Amino acid sequence: MSLPAPDAMDVVLARREPFQSSGRALDTPRSRGVGSHRLALQRMAGDLLSLRRRVASLEAENGHLRHSLARLREPAPLRHSDTDVLTRDELLDRLKNDREKELVLLQRCHRQQQVALRRCQDRVAKARALEQALRQQEKASAGLGRQGRVRGHPEPPGVGTGPWRGAGDTGDSGCPLLR
């Protein structure tokens, strides 16, 4: 599994263009759309970084559990008072039972970690898919904008704003539940 670099957020932010040009704020529908896309990318980058930290901590914990399991496979020292009363067979049975209990506990912890790791990997995959879809939408949007400018057609007001095409600046989303 390949995770983004720890400085991925810095790289994304370094490439972004400033919203202000020559001292005045850009407030066009396109700049608002790009701003919301950038905000979404920033959030996804933050999520990816937090998931990466979570995966690293789970891997470290998994390493500790593996080390504990290896240590349990070696015979554990017994207290001197226990060895005087118990026979060799009783000692072996007790050691076997202790090892089995520890193994069951370690297996349970390992299963929980695997489930958490799978969840984190699913979130990363979903975030990557969303990033890819966002990039494709931005490319398509930029291509349509270039075609309109090349043909000399200005963008009509309200196109591309709001959650639905043609919602315009009236605040009418077209959905009675969102009014």
103-113 pLDDT tens trace: 999 999 999 99
Burial 58-78 (b: 16+ CB within 10 A, else e): beeeeeebeeebeebeeeeee
Q: Can you tell me which residue has the tokens 């559990």?
A: 65
Is it the case that residue 174 has pLDDT exceeding 90? no
Q: Out of 33-37, 49-53, 152-156, 166-170, which region has the weakest mean confidence (pLDDT)?
A: 166-170
Task: In whole angstroms, give the CA distance from residue 118 to residue 139.
Answer: 31
Other C-beta atoms within 10 Å of 29: how many?
17
pLDDT band (50, 70, 90) for residue 114: very high
**pTM: predicted TM-score of the whole model, two decimal places:** 0.35
Residues 22-69 have pLDDT tens digits of: 444 556 666 777 888 889 899 999 999 999 999 999 999 998 888 888
Task: In whole angstroms, give the CA distance from residue 153 to residue 96.
Answer: 81
